[in-house]
Chains A and B, each alone.
Chain A
Amino acid sequence: MAGKYDIAVLGGGPGGYVAAIRAAQLGFKTVIIDKENLGGICLNWGCIPTKSLLKNAEIFDTMKNHSADFGITVKGLEFDFSKIIKRSRDISDRITKNVEMLIKKNKIERIRGFGKLVSKNQLDIFNNEGGKFDSVTADKVIIATGARPRMVPAIPVDRKMIITSTEAMILPEQPKELIVIGAGAIGVEFAYFYSVLGTKVTIIEMLDSILPVEDREVSDTLAKSFRKRGIEIFTKATVEKAEIKGSMVYVSINVNSEKKELSADKVLSAIGVTGNVEGFGLEELGIELYKNHIKVNKSTYETNVKDIFAIGDVIGPPWLAHVASHEGIHCVERIKGLNLPDINYENIPGCTYCQPQVASVGLTEAKAKEAGYEIKVGKFPFMASGKAFAIGEREGFVKFIFDAKYGEILGVHIIGSEATEMIAEAGLAKALEATGESIIKTVHAHPTLSESIMEAAAQAYGEAIHI
């Protein structure tokens, strides 16, 4: 299989496999190297399997807590935890196979093994036992090795009782109690999932709100909803120690300089990720790193070593699959010499798939003020939406942050049902540099939840109709 290629892609996640397909489309002879199934964390251990789990939780939640609202009587409602997990794994398996097929269809060479850069243009391929079985050369190498859960000494992950997101999605049994450390998207989603299934969940967050990157009003709304569910939340709380004793994990936290002892049968560490930069030969080639990630030029995605590129989680935040894919495409198109504008990192949507869902693009109210903008805020609650009423999803709101001077859409924040689907409109509006007026004057179908986006924009200008 030893071959010579135009482009070698190291890593088959949503950054790598998308880059490889785009490269093949553009006529490059391409090889993709990954020792695991293609799809990376996203398809195997992230986005897709967790969204599968969350759907189970949503359905169960609706049937258990809201069926009466719809005049439906459910008797003997129960679930089989192992089947919930199995469904998620089956979906993951299927979808990763589809990616393998896409790779084949695009005539991309697929090497299953661990690739290591031995020179600027050469990758040796090793099997799981560390035996070298192949070697390829390529004019350009794209590193897309992704990231993995970050570890800290205070939280000794054993992957059985103190677990990461990976184990959390394949637990053999439902935990009775779960402590989630870190209230980012991953932590919050698992908190929701297990809480719905009946696990007693506690969230510990170091910053002063859950989903701390989101707009404060959104975080507060979600916290309220979670507390109503019975999830206990500690913010401004640091973990001093987590210890396994017998069948329990004991976690000492410090909340507002007050010590607290918590315990649970499982602890999920969801305190962020760190780049996979070790073992690929990066150090030997002198590839420059920055805070455990590869440093690149965010216009070409080239590293400090010519002809070696890097994309996706391994180059650092915002660790998102959709960003990795776009970076992959952009990187390859630049290699091809296509003239295109750089990715605008201000216009990247972020989504959290608990219920109510959270989605946003752009600046929060606080960040906008911090940046010195004079702002105009528009808000529309789903409570006032006819569609939300009809489908029984009245929680949440849409919030717009405008620049008062030029009418620029600085940020859009949605919390509520289908928020993650609705954010696309805001993303497009921002990408095309639309203004509030553009949204207000766009006819939105009735009855839809999306109308709330139009109404929220209108509200900023005192033109909202339904509030």
Chain B
Amino acid sequence: MDIVMPKMGESVSEGTILKWHKKKGDHVNRDEIIFEISTDKVDTEIPSPAEGILTEIKFNEGDTVAVGTVVAVIEANGGANINEKAVEDNAVISEPVKSQSAGEKKESYAVPETGTEINAGSAAETTPKSLVEKGSNSSGTLVEIKMPKMGESVMEGTIIKWHKKVGDSVKKDEVMFEISTDKVDTEVPSPSEGIVSEILIAEQETVEVGTVVAKLSTVEAKISAAEKTPVKNAGQSETEKEVEEIKRQYAGAAKTDTVKSSAQSAGIKPEQKASKFLSPLVLNIAKNENVSFDELDRIEGSGLDSRITKKDILAYIEKRNSIKTIEPAKAEEGKPEPAADVFKLSFEPSYSVNDVEKIPMDNIRQKIMQHMINSRDTSVHVTALIEVDMTGIHNFIQKHRDEYGKKEGIKLTYMPFIANAAVKALREYPLVNSTIEGSTIIKKKFINLGIAVAIEPTGLIVPNIKNADDKSITGLAKSITDLADRARNKKLTPDDITNGTFTITNYGVFGTIFGTPIINQPEVAILGVGTVTKKPVVVEAGGMDTIAIKPIMALTLAHDHRLIDGMLGGRFLKFMKDALESFNENSI
């Protein structure tokens, strides 16, 4: 009987004989160790397949031979010849049981139908991919939901909240998610009816406009899948189920994983604060240095799987702290950067944690903050003030308020009158209706009148009335009401908030007499409207100075002195004053 070098594994093609435990002529029992071999995988002892006498040793210790090579011959004991002979052909030494690897099993038992183990194994390997592929395959009717473009200059948006999760059904126009851009927060409705099949971008992640954020399988797809499934199931064996089970496990695993932006990130829990793995050390540093989770989210990690390392967070803190000292210099250079990080100025806290409540800023607040600082750093703000006698308009409103409410369905206020006067003034002094681009003045021939709208509890947004100069006072009144309503209900469209040319902010509604507003960039002026108060004023009546009581309003014009000097600012305000004071019923 030939003893051959056994195959010790799929990829092993040779073995080295380390040691012969028997020498020529020795008697060996079945399963007694004859020799030891070494391969790149294992060292192992080789037992005899049968009892007999070792009659020949073909290789010496230290020799390396190919798998299958005959290394020795055993002469079976006499008497058992016939039986042994029969065995002999097959008795090419079988591998020692110990070394029978999974790979070997695969080879011998790989029958596809019953090969559950093998199938399951390979399915497990490819599951994440195949899940995705499956989605797109069954999807002649798979709809991709993209990050919408929220305005000309808006390049990216942050998903604030998913209203739907994977597996949820949605109706057409039902809100799927909320987004926030640097301009506006808005809800995004579903373009069609269907089932959410994938959510690709997690909450708080920011992606470029046009990025696919979710996939929706439409109703047809669902039905066809439903039709197909039973048929498929009937035809598929246990293996299929097992594969599904493994897929489910994988999906589950991905859920608990804090995957950054993979296809599985739908599982990130909304209450979860940090969206990536943070090492204990990074967390400690963040705690000590008052680095918020929001900030941590923005730090780019240099570690394995983009983890934030100690180095990253320390570099961030250093940068954050240095902004404080760099800032004034920047302003002097007249090259203010988008002040993205300025709000992170660290101030040494002198309070105990129990005395304060820490509130992370929402996106809108952060954007407002950035816009305000940016404006302050961009424009040279100068504020001029003028008092306007609102008697004519006051009386008109008193007289026509009810009638107006009934006829037009809106509440008549001072605002449309002021807007109308502003439009006229802008037409008269178009330089106020312009923008600075480098050393060029862009004088606009259209007037898109921005109206600052306060959003409870702490927001502010400036939608604009397109071509306000085409509108009557009534038209302006309607537009203002409409914009304010939509702003408060998050129904503004991207168009509403882009391309404004001049802004009016009415802080008078809160009783403020006058203020010095900040210009809405890239505009060059903003009109502040104070409250209308009855005041004693000196008027001339019959050639005599006399004191009268009149509804007086302070208008302030904050203008950018880079372009608008005091003369133009003053003239603009005087023009408005004259227009408002000379109002009569025929104007409407």
Contact = CB atoms under 8 A, between A and B. Distances in A.
Interface of A: 94, 97-98, 101-102, 104-105, 340-341, 405-408, 432-435, 437-438
The 7 closest A-B pairs by CB, nearest first: A101-B40, A433-B279, A433-B281, A435-B280, A438-B280, A406-B284, A102-B40
24 contacts: A94-B18, A94-B38, A97-B38, A97-B64, A101-B39, A104-B13, A104-B14, A104-B40, A105-B11, A105-B12, A105-B13, A340-B304, A341-B302, A341-B309, A406-B285, A406-B310, A408-B281, A408-B310, A432-B279, A433-B279, A433-B280, A433-B309, A434-B281, A435-B280
A341 B302 CA distance: 6
A187 to B, nearest CB: 33
Given A97-B38, A433-B279, A434-B279, A406 B304 contact: no
A97 B64 CA distance: 10
Nearest to B9: A105
Contacts of A94: 18, 38
B426 interface: no
Contacts of A438: 280
Interface residues of B, number: 22
Nearest to B39: A101
Interface of B: 11-14, 16, 18, 38-40, 64, 279-282, 284-285, 288, 302-304, 309-310
A433 B282 contact: yes
A74 B302 CA distance: 58
A105 B40 contact: yes
Contacts of B310: 406, 408, 433
A392 to B, nearest CB: 31
A438 B280 CA distance: 7
Most buried by A among B284, B288, B302: B284
Contact of B281 (A97, A341, A406): A406
A408 B309 CA distance: 12
Nearest to A339: B306
Contacts of B16: 97
A407 B281 contact: yes
A412 to B, nearest CB: 14
Contacts of B284: 406-408, 435
Contacts of B282: 433
A94 B11 CA distance: 19
Contact of B40 (A98, A407, A435): A98
B278 to A, nearest CB: 9
Given A105-B40, A341-B303, A437 B12 contact: no
Contact of A434 (B38, B39, B280): B280
Contacts of A405: 288
Contacts of A408: 281, 284, 310
A257 B310 CA distance: 46
Nearest to B18: A94
B32 to A, nearest CB: 24
Most buried by A among B280, B282, B302, B310: B280
A104 B15 CA distance: 12
A22 B29 CA distance: 44
Nearest to A344: B309
B281 A435 contact: yes
A432 B18 CA distance: 42
A97 B14 CA distance: 12
A433 B311 CA distance: 11
A199 B310 CA distance: 49
A406 B314 CA distance: 11
Given A105-B40, A432-B279, A435-B284, 15 more contacts: A104-B13, A104-B40, A105-B11, A105-B12, A340-B304, A341-B304, A341-B309, A405-B288, A407-B284, A408-B284, A433-B280, A433-B309, A433-B310, A435-B280, A437-B280
Contacts of A435: 280-281, 284
Contacts of A341: 302-304, 309
A406 B303 CA distance: 19
A94 B40 CA distance: 10
Contacts of A101: 14, 39-40
Nearest to A437: B280
A21 B509 CA distance: 76
A60 to B, nearest CB: 25
A77 to B, nearest CB: 27
Nearest to A403: B281
A458 to B, nearest CB: 15
Contacts of B279: 432-434
Most buried by B among A405, A433, A434: A433
A433 B307 CA distance: 11
Contacts of A432: 279
Nearest to A408: B281
Contacts of A97: 16, 38, 64
A98 to B, nearest CB: 5
B220 to A, nearest CB: 41
